[in-house]
Chains A and B, each alone.
Chain A
Amino acid sequence: MSDNTITRRGFLGLVGAAGATAVLAGCGGSSDSGKTEIEVVTYKQEAVKTFERLQDLFNETHDDIHVTITCPNDATTVLRTRFIREDYPDIVGIGGDVTFSNFVDAGILADVSDFDGISQVKQSYLDTLDKLEFVPTEGIYGVPHSANAAGVLYNRAMFREHGWDIPTTWSEFTALCETVKAAGILPLYLGFKDTWTTLAPWNALAIELAPSDVCQQVNAGTTTFAEHYREVAEKEYALLQYAEDGPFAYGYNDACTAFANGESAMYTIGSYAVPQIRSVNPDMDIDSFVMPAVENADDRILNSGVDLQFCVTAACPHKEAAYEVIRFLIEHDSMQAYVSDQNAVPCVEGDFELPDVLDGMREFIDEGRTADFQDHYYPSEMAVDAQIQTFLIDGDVDKFLAKFDSDWTRYNRDIIAKVQDYYATQG
């Protein structure tokens, strides 16, 4: 296998030797003022204001390092495009999803296990990242910063007014939806025109109904999705009867607006939607609960994954300076500022004030009863979100599951080969 592997570095090295090296010497150099220049690119576009403040604060308090934090729109595409040109920022702030798996696999990220701040990070989130590697890789490739939590957001004032209780099982949930409907209020307003929102209820249902490592099991060839995803699909389909007519006509913004205006009682989305909702109705009293997909309340698990982590690129020439920046970003005050602005869950130990929208999920967070989003393992080019949307439109669960399995093997061919090769050689 490795004999005919051509690395881009080698290929470009030839081109570079022709004399372009001087021009290409780009990122991570020292600026004229003698300070070490550190560039951070994060994909948290919605947190741009927070990061601007943190960036200024860092630069005011550090004489030897100057940091630039940018949060471009569609950052993962921006990053990929820059990587094609071999132009690497020093630190990338990405989610704990398949993009991270690919970056680790491609050898773009540096091992940060020698970073002292790692000891502050909660072990469960380090484990989450570990599981995302296609094949077990020695080392730690990201510093988990914050997590998100997804389930069901609800209008707390409306629930109080009608005396509705928080459901803890699937039958309680459907019964509640019927009650809400009978009160003349829409239980849910879904924005399924934006395909990615179909994944929010999907993930919340899947972690309780399917094994957490179902994707790895399929890659290892021991099971199929048809076996584990049928109930997930059927329960998500069941949500449609409690939503507005034609949920495929409305997008995420429409759904947030409708929920904010009190048109619906609940919204099956993550805590990340709260800033968008409050931009319409700033005083809205929002709380959340864990999606109850099962009949035994004790089997509920909170859907929470690494939403933002900081990874140092292998090409970064000033690893110590990069660590200093990350140390600053995960220290108590910076973290509290971020957590309050973004309704996020901190990944580091410490006494933080959690946003009130997470009240209903608090015990799950404290007890660590969480599991990662299953879509963090789905390859983006397979467009699982669009497949779920297709299924929700035509309602054919057998066709959907068959396509899911056949597409999975097709889009993950190289990864499956790698995984099976790994287990064959390991034993």
Chain B
Amino acid sequence: MGNNRQRTYYLMLIPILVLFFCFNTLPLLRGFFYSFTNFRGFGGYDMVGLRNYIDLFQDARVGNSYLFTFKLALVSTLAVNVISLAMALALNSKIKFKSALRGMYFIPNILGSLVVGYIFNYFFTYIVPFLTNTTSILADAKWAWVAIVVVCAWQSIAMNTIIYISGLQTVPEDVYEAGSLDGATGWNQFRYLTFPLIMPFFTINMVLCMKNFMMVFDQIMALTSGGPAQSTESISFLIYSNGMAGGQFGFQSANAVVFFILIVTISVLQTRFLNSREEQL
């Protein structure tokens, strides 16, 4: 009996494992190998040892892309979580048209990033300057990143709100009743009851947000293509544009390896730190 069941589980797992290995692990290992070459993406190549990694830490353009990506990821993650938590609280309260509103606020998530990007492109280039009588924010090397934050946040708030709403629904009503007897209402209720109890959802949202924004690509492609003055080149954008379209396959593979290690490290640290602060009921 037990043997049979085990076999079923293996039958389910092994094909997936094979697929995962072929389409994920294998390319990763080959990318790792190419990071030690001067491969252009085609033709012959030479082994260059650690040259790509040494160059990586001296390349101003790569350095700027890391700074930009971190700045974008931090600001967007904070903005998205604060706003979507507030939205979730509002959409979880006893208001009219709750379901309809929830549906409406979810729409940005089902639109493709490129579509959203092009719409906002028009918005920032023509509508905002017309209304405020300023020049386009997308043409300003200092502030173009803010436009990207706005688009990223606008789009991902939808999903985060849904996760927070489902979190809020796991908090039983009697906790609030008991709390209100002890005088916990309003801000105190949120601070000492609601927030600690939805901490696991906060963790998942923070980790997902951070990871997604670190890998930001579509929005940049649609809004600025890395400009103006190369001020909005994210790491993924640089890896794609110089690794695939340019001839730096080897060098950008090294960049991708470093980027991969970085994302894993950040996600693990974040999960550890936030998990330690979760409460169990």
- Interface of A toward B, CB cutoff 8 Å: 1, 4-8, 74, 76-77, 80-81, 83-84, 102-103, 105-108, 193-195, 245-246, 248-250, 254, 379-383, 386-387, 389-390, 393-394, 410, 414
Contacts and interface: CB of A to CB of B under 8 A. Distances in A.
B136 interface: yes
B46 A379 contact: no
B224 to A, nearest CB: 8
Contacts of A107: 43-44
B226 interface: yes
A380 B135 contact: no
B245 A77 contact: yes
Contact of A193 (B45, B55, B227): B227
Given A379-B246, A381-B242, A393-B141, A5 B44 contact: yes
A149 to B, nearest CB: 25
A381 B247 contact: yes
Interface string B39-67: 01111111100000001000101000000
B90 to A, nearest CB: 36
Contacts of A382: 246
Contact of B227 (A4, A5, A195, A246): A195
Given A389-B229, A390-B229, A390-B230, A380 B247 contact: yes
Contacts of A102: 40, 42-43, 247
Chief secondary structure at chain B's binding surface: loop
A4 B46 contact: yes
A379 B246 CA distance: 7
B229 A106 contact: no
Contact of A414 (B38, B135, B138, B244): B38
Nearest to A382: B246
B42 A7 contact: no
Contacts of A84: 41-42
A195 B225 contact: yes
A220 to B, nearest CB: 21
Contacts of A389: 227-229
B84 interface: no
Interface residues of B, number: 33
B247 A193 contact: no
A280 to B, nearest CB: 16
B141 A80 contact: no
B249 to A, nearest CB: 8
A394 B248 CA distance: 28
B136 A246 contact: yes
A106 B228 contact: no
B139 A246 contact: yes
21 contacts: A4-B47, A5-B44, A8-B44, A76-B245, A102-B43, A103-B42, A103-B43, A193-B228, A245-B135, A246-B136, A248-B228, A249-B135, A250-B125, A381-B241, A381-B248, A383-B230, A386-B226, A386-B227, A390-B141, A390-B229, A393-B228
Contact of A1 (B46, B59, B61, B245): B46
B44 A6 contact: yes
Nearest to B121: A251
A394 B125 CA distance: 21
Contact of A8 (B42, B47, B139, B224): B42
Given A76-B245, A81-B244, A381-B242, A106 B43 contact: yes
A106 B125 contact: no
Nearest to A106: B43
B129 interface: yes
A379 B43 contact: no
B89 to A, nearest CB: 38
A364 to B, nearest CB: 32
Contacts of B135: 245-246, 249
Contacts of A74: 245
Contacts of B228: 193, 248, 389-390, 393
Nearest to A82: B42
